[in-house]
Amino acid sequence: MSTSSLDERRREHRSLRLRRMLLASAAAVGVLALAAAAWFSPLLALTDVKAEGQKLVNADDVASFVLDQHGGTPLPQLRSQELKDELAEEFPLAHSFDISPAGPRTLRVKVHDRQPAFVVKRAEGWEIYDPEAVVLSKSDSRPKGVPLYVGTADRTGIETASQLVSSLGENAEHTAAVAVKSPTQTAVVIRHSKDYSAVVILGEPIDVEAKIATARTVMQDEPAAIDVQSTAVPAATDEVPAWARVPQDAYSQG
C-alpha cells in the first residue's frame, strides 16, 4: 500500500472521530438545553395538588399550604425532601408524607397520621400521645382502645413511656396499660386472655419483647405480677408494686 493511501486513510479516521465527537457534543448540549427548558418552563409550573389526608391532618389544608408556598414553581425545581420537611413543620400531627408527580403540573401528597400509643389523665381531661411523645389530641372522656399511662405525667415519665411503647412490637395490641416510676422502673399490663391480664415488671425499657416473651412462659399460672428484669429468672408474685397498680377499668378499656 502506498504512502499516500495510508495518509488518506488516517485523514478519514480522524475526520470520522471528529464527526463522532461533534455529534456527541451536540447531543450533550441538546440534553442540557432540554433540561434547562424544563427547569424554567412555565408548562411544568405547579398549579394543582392532590392531597390525601387521614383523621388528624386535613387534606385540603395540606394542598393549600403546598400551593401557597410553591404554586407556579416548575416541578423540576421542587425537592421532595425539602418539601417533606416543610410539611412536617407545618403539620406536626402527621407522621410522614409521600410525594409524587401526578401530571406535568400536579403533585400528589399522601399523609400518614401519627398513631396513638397511650393516654394520660390530666386535671382538664385526657391527652393522647404517640410513640414519639407528641400530643395528638385531647378529650373529655377516655378514648377506648388506647393503653392507659400510670405514673407521674411529667416529661421524664412521658418520654420513658414513649420509649417503652416503641419497643413493644406485636405486644402493643395486647397492652392495656404502661406504668412508669422512673426511667429504670417500668411495667406493662399484658392481656393474656379474655379473663386474665398480668402486670409485667420490666425494669429499664430495654429488650422489652424478650422480657415479655419470658413473662408469657409463666402466665399459665395466672400470677398478678411477673418480674422479668432478669429474663433468666422470671419471678411470679400475687403482689403488684404500688407504683404499677392500674385502675380496674384499664383492663376493660385498654
**Mean pLDDT of the 58-86 span:** 94
Identify the pLDDT of residue 232: 85
- Cβ(85)–Cβ(94) under 8 Å? no
Residue 43: what pLDDT? 78
What does the pLDDT read at residue 29? 44
Residue 34 is placed in which grid cell? 432540554
Could you report the per-residue pLDDT of 122-146, keeping only the tens digit for each? 988 999 999 999 999 998 998 888 9
Q: Which CATH code, of 3.30.70, 3.90.220, 3.40.50, 3.30.450, is assigned to 118-253?
A: 3.40.50
Residue 143: helix, strand or coil by DSSP? coil
Kindly write down the DSSP assignment for every residue of 60-110, as one continuous string.
HHHHHHHHHHHTTSBGGG--HHHHHHHHHHH-TTEEEEEEEE-STTEEEEE
In this prediction the pTM is 0.71
- Asked if pLDDT for residue 100 goes beyond 90, the answer is yes
Residues 199-203 have a mean pLDDT of 97
Q: What percent of the chain has pLDDT over 90?
A: 69
Q: Where are the domains of the chain?
A: 3-40, 43-111, 118-253
Q: Can you tell me the mean pLDDT for 175-199?
A: 95
- 148 pLDDT band (50/70/90 cuts)? very high
pLDDT average, residue stretch 86-96: 94
d(CA 50, CA 63): 7
What rounded mean pLDDT belongs to the chain? 86
How much is the CA Rg of the chain, to the nearest whole Å?
31
Over range 213-232, report the average pLDDT: 94
Q: Is the pLDDT of residue 35 over 50?
A: no
pLDDT at residue 184 tops 90: yes
Instruction: With cut-offs at 50, 70 and 90, classify the pLDDT of residue 98.
Output: very high
Average pLDDT over residues 232-247: 91
Q: What is the pLDDT of residue 6?
A: 58
Percent of the chain with pLDDT over 70: 81
Q: CATH 3.40.50.2000: does it fit domain 43-111?
A: no
Q: Residue 60: its pLDDT value, please?
A: 94
pLDDT at 33: 39
